[in-house]
Structure 1
Amino acid sequence: MSEKTTYTLPIGPIHPALKEPVAFEFEIEGERIIGVDLKVGHVHRGIEWIGMHRNPIQILYIAERICGICNVCHPIAFCRAVENVADIEVPERADYIRTIVAELERIHSHILWAGVAAHEIGFDTVLHLSWAIREKVLDLIEYLTGNRITKAIFTVGGVRRDITKDQYPKIEEALNYYKENFDALKSVFLDDKSIQMRTKKCGILTKEDALKLCAVGPTTRASGVKKDVRVDQAYCAYGDLDIKPITPDILTGEINGDVYDRIIVRLLEVAQSVDLIEQCLDRLPSGDIMAEPKIPKLLAMLKRTEGDGIGRAEAPRGEVIHYVKLDGKNE
């Protein structure tokens, strides 16, 4: 019997299959990838260096652009890090509004991911269907923040925009839309036999490997690891809400850690986000939305602050951590 042979397959840094420049060297045995050498940094933007030469309010603009898709979690994590250093107490109402906007982003990001997954397995019709459904939440985000993509609603010590009672009907309309269309998304992604054949028992990440590789977000939860910053170290309003980590066995009774399970987790988290937003609206407290509404006064206070702090947030794709060090020079 002949010994198994391996070969190396280089892909990138520029390749039509890649969304951005990155280089892989795959070690392959038959049809199984047994190793990979990853070379990154081709799109390094020097964000940390830029931040060292800006004040905290200016850095917010940069933090929102770290990721074009998940641009709520980064400013939240950054703000929480600065608030941690400066001992700023965020108004409770602002925490609830931050949570609402974060969950709206989670809805749009998960549906976007599901559409891309459909495209990758050859179902462009499902991509177009899911992205059409996603438009509703982008319209709502624009209605509440003024922007569809970069929200510009966050500031150190609170939020820049309030959510008022007269906005509730529009919010409720969008949430009801997702309740009504959830079964359609579930039917398309989870009940279709062709999609099941392309996603079940494919791309398996076991619980052991997920822990070993420090996987985060829906990817690790799909492998049965109940890790979620919103629960483990509750921030904003999450400590007041009824929330538990989503794993695929909630729906199927089993965990396989495959692509199908990762789709399940994201779709269930869309429904969970709708529920969390409704909880926030029902419990939204009265009060201020900023700890210090006058930016010059806030900057003057931060300029006198020295120390370091950490802010964590659960992005749609997983945990985000920001480390901030203030040197008493407003940098």
Structure 2
Amino acid sequence: MAKTTYYVPIGPIHPALKEPIRVEAEVEGEKIVKVDVKRGFAHRGIEYMGMKRNAIQTLYLSERICGICSISHPYAFVIGSEKALGIEAPPRAQYIRTIIAELERIHSHILWLGVIAHEIGFDSLLFWTWKGREKVLDILEAITGNRINYSMYMIGGVRRDLKESHIRVLKDMITYYWEFTEHMKEVFLSDPVYKARTRGVAQVSKDVALKLNLVGPTARAAGLRMDIRQDIPYDAYADIDVKAVVPQDIVGEARGDAYDVTMVRIYEIEQSLDIIEYCIDNLPEGKILAIPNYIALLNKIKKTEGEGIGAHEAPRGEVVHYFRYDGTRDGPAVWKVIAPSYNNINSWGYCLLGAEVADIPVVVAYIDPCMCCNDRVAVVKDSTGKILDYSILHRKAVEKTRALEKELGVMK
């Protein structure tokens, strides 16, 4: 007797999705037997716009690539630009950058912990974690003036200095989150229901993680010791000796599932607290900008020809920005962005195949996806392999509309 399968489309607009993505699953009972993931619904042309503006305007545009990780893209942007332009940020600015980046990692990881709790039905845990996240957002607002989109980084340094009052609240925050993370270990890692719901779900081995080019906590949960702060240290990270957080160092083995990703993120919060404490205890004196005059900076950019790559370990994984300045304009001639979700979404097809329908939200959430970070165009081809351009797609849309009108009896 032939088995019956059903087609289950999810997205691009769906109550469970915060951003547009489409997952097309074919199910047999509750088991997924075929799956296809489609993206490209959030293309905004940011790279193209950035190449039409000066470098400072493009820097602020880069901050809008992602709302949650709104320091990660500017961080990679300034590092790449400085390499291309031959500029070095002052030591004090480098330490301030590192502090802000780790504050963002704390808030992003706590946000994800709330999201994964929500996806498995623990809404009370969602509210508790997000209440705890308010502390770090208050600190970011006190230092930068904003809870999100901080406008803190600049090519050659930072725009604002750290005051003694900021250092005092940072030390209070560190004490607060050491206690908070201990509670999170209890309510996440020691809870039998949470463990049962995440153990074995979205499981990726070390070999598969390498083949799929996974990055960030998703890769580290599979046991890969990879972290830009460790492998290619920059700014204050070069003085700190950061080590990648992997499950085998915590519990003796790495299974690479949603439970291990949870573990990695909680322990990375503690690592961020250590990094922030080191930075404020060893904060150098001095200036915070290599070129304080923005007009002078733009003039230097206009006269400089060079290229550079900026890489930063964002909360979701490595962010890479490539730049080329051609010496004829005050903005980048070439700007290319690669965000971690572009790599990590590759795991969805692998993890969903053979999984239960109820596991779809957990598989989707475990990489902490950002669709807008992808910012890619979907290329559509016909059966012969010919790319369907705007004129062909428009004609087909008109033809389909006319056919529907005829079918529904509403032809004019």
Q: TM-score, normalised by structure 2?
A: 0.77
2:42 is matched with 43
Does the aligned pair in 1 maintain the 2:230–2:241 contact within 8 Å? no
Is 1:145 the counterpart of 2:123 in the alignment? Answer: no
Q: Deviations over 1:110-139 (max 9, x none)?
A: 000000000001000000111111100000
1:221 is matched with 220
Tell me how far 1:201 sits from its aligned partner. Answer: 1.6
Aligned residue-pair number: 330
5+ long unaligned stretches in structure 2: 332-412
Query: 1: CA distance between counterparts of 2:252 and 2:144?
Result: 39
Q: Relative to 1, partners in 2 of residues 1:239 and 1:35: Cα closer, same or farther, differing over 3 Å?
A: farther
Query: 2: CA distance between counterparts of 1:320 and 1:262?
Result: 19
Describe the SS at the equivalent of 2:173: helix
Q: Deviations over 1:145-183 (max 9, x none)?
A: 111111111000000111133422111011110012221
Does the aligned pair in 2 maintain the 1:242–1:276 contact within 8 Å? no
2:12 is matched with 13
1:155 is matched with 154
1:284 is matched with 283
Q: Relative to 1, partners in 2 of residues 1:15 and 1:101: Cα closer, same or farther, differing over 3 Å?
A: same
Query: 2: CA distance between counterparts of 1:243 and 1:123?
Result: 33
2:262 is matched with 263
Q: Deviations over 1:246-271 (max 9, x none)?
A: 01123222211111100000000000
Does the aligned pair in 2 maintain the 1:99–1:237 contact within 8 Å? yes
Q: Deviations over 1:199-227 (max 9, x none)?
A: 11222111111111111100110000111
Tell me how far 1:4 sits from its aligned partner. Answer: 6.9
Query: 2: CA distance between counterparts of 1:17 and 1:151?
Result: 28
Greater CA drift, 178-187 or 100-109: 178-187
1:59 is matched with 58
1:231 is matched with 230
Greater CA drift, 104-113 or 9-18: 9-18
1:319 is matched with 318
Q: Deviations over 1:287-326 (max 9, x none)?
A: 1110000000111101111222111000000010001121
Max radius of gyration: which structure? 2
Describe the SS at the equivalent of 1:271: helix
2:309 is matched with 310
5+ long unaligned stretches in structure 1: none
1:78 is matched with 77
Does the aligned pair in 2 maintain the 1:61–1:152 contact within 8 Å? yes
What amino acid does structure 2 have at the position aligned with 1:330? D
Does the aligned pair in 1 maintain the 2:159–2:288 contact within 8 Å? yes
1:195 is matched with 194
Query: 1: CA distance between counterparts of 2:275 and 2:34?
Result: 40
Query: 1: CA distance between counterparts of 2:6 and 2:209?
Result: 26
Query: 1: CA distance between counterparts of 2:2 and 2:284?
Result: 68
Describe the SS at the equivalent of 2:160: coil
Does the aligned pair in 1 maintain the 2:92–2:285 contact within 8 Å? yes
Greater CA drift, 58-67 or 243-252: 243-252
